[in-house]
Amino acid sequence: MERTIKILGAGPSGLTASINLARAGYNVEVYEKNKTVGKRFSGCFQILENYTEKEELLDAFNRMNVKINFFCHPSKKIDFYDSKLNLCSLKSKKPYGYFIKRGNEKDTLDYGLAEQAEKSGVKIIYNENINTEKADIIAVGANSAAGIAKEIVFDTDSDDTFKVILDNNIAPKGFTYLFVINKKGTLGTAVLKKKSEINRLTAKSVGKFQKTGKFEMNNQKEVVSYVNFYLPKSAKLNNSLKIGEAAGFQDNLFGIGTRIAVTSGYLAAKSIIENIDYDELWKKHIAGKMKMSMVNRFFYELCGNTGYSLFNKTAKNKDIREFGYKLYKPDCFRNSIFPFIKIAQDIKKKLHKRN
C-alpha cells in the first residue's frame, strides 16, 4: 500500500494503532514531540485493569497484536482504607489487574510498545510535531485537566504492597495509592478538587500511609500528570480520528485508562484497515463501560467519606475482579439516569472552557 498513515503522539494508544496498521501493510509515521517515549513518567507503577470486561487482559492484548515485552506484574490482592483507616482487604481468583511501569526505561510499557512498533516497520519521528489537520490519527493525550495526579517514585524497604485510601480530606473527589513491587514504590495522589493544593495533599497522603505501616522513601523522584475524561458525541476531528485521552476515553471512576487507550488505538486502526466508521466501533466497544463509569463517578462524589466506608463494607469478602465487573456492567437503573448525568457533564465542560 502506498498510503502513509500519520499518527500524532507516541503514547500507548498511538503506538497500538501504528502496530496494527503496519502489520496490515500500511506505511506508518508516528510524530512524537518529545525526544523519547514516556517522557512525562519516571518509572512509576500504573495498573492495566482486568475487571471492567470478562475477557482476560492478556488475551485482549494478544487479540490486539500487543505483546508483553514489558514489566507486567499480576495482582490478586489489594487493601482499601477509608478516612478512619478502617481496612478492607480484597482478593480475587484471577488477577484484577497487571501492574506496569511507565517511562522510557527498557522495562516500561512505553519503551516496549515503541520497540514493537519499530520492529513492525513503523517510523517514529521524535522531537517533531505536525498540525492535527495533517494527522490521520490524533493521540496527544488530555487537552484539558479534569483532574491532577502527583506521584512519588522511590526505593523502599517495604515488602510488596497494594494499598488505596479513599478520603476526601487528603484526596478530594479522588483517591491516594501506594504500590510497592520488588522494593520499588509509587505513592500517588489523584484529585478532582483543590488541584492547586496537590503538593500539600500529597504530603498528607504520605503521612497517612505511614500510619498503615512504616516504610522508607529513598531516592525520590516526583512527576505530575493530568487526567481528562469525557464521552464525546464523535471521536473524529474533520478527517482525523481521536484516540485515548485525546478523545476523552478514560475511566471516570478511578482514572485507570491504559486498557481503554490501547483498545481505542486498535479500533482506529481497524476502522482504517476495514473501512468501518470509527464512531460506530468505539461506541460499540468502549461507550458502554464509559457510561457506567460516569454514573459510578456521580455516586462516588455524591456520597463522600461516608460512601467510601460503605463501599468498603459492601466489597468486603467479595472477589474484587467480579465485584469490579458488576460496577461496569450496564444495567437498567444506571442506563436510565445516565442521560441526566451526561447533560450535567456537558454543562460542566462548557463552564470549564469559559474559565
Domain covering 4-73+102-143+229-286: architecture:
3-Layer(bba) Sandwich (3.50)
The C-alpha cell that represents 203 in the structure block = 504530603
Q: Of 30-44, 116-130, 227-241, 277-291, which range is least confident?
A: 227-241
pLDDT of residue 231: 86
Taking the C-alpha atoms of residue 127 and residue 321, their distance in angstroms, rounded to an integer, is 40
The C-alpha cell that represents 270 in the structure block = 481497524
Name the residue ranges covered by the structural domains of the chain: 4-73+102-143+229-286, 147-227, 289-354
Question: Which whole-number Å values give the CA distances from 23 to 111, 178, 253, 274, in the listed order?
Answer: 19, 38, 34, 13
The C-alpha cell that represents 225 in the structure block = 500528570
Is the sign of the CA dihedral 187, 202, 315, 260 positive or negative? negative
State the amino acid at position 187 in one-letter form.
Answer: L
pTM: 0.93
| Cβ(38)–Cβ(103) below 8 Å | yes
State the amino acid at position 137 in one-letter form.
Answer: I
pLDDT of residue 90: 94
Q: Quick one: which of 67, 43, 11, 46 has its CA closest to 251?
A: 46
Give me the numbers of helices (H) and strands (E) for the chain, helices first please. Answer: 9, 16
pLDDT surpassing 60 at residue 16 = yes
The string of pLDDT tens digits covering residues 104-153 is 999 999 999 999 999 999 999 999 999 999 999 999 987 667 789 999 99
The string of pLDDT tens digits covering residues 285-318 is 999 999 999 998 888 888 889 888 888 888 888 9
Q: Which CATH class is domain 147-227?
A: alpha beta
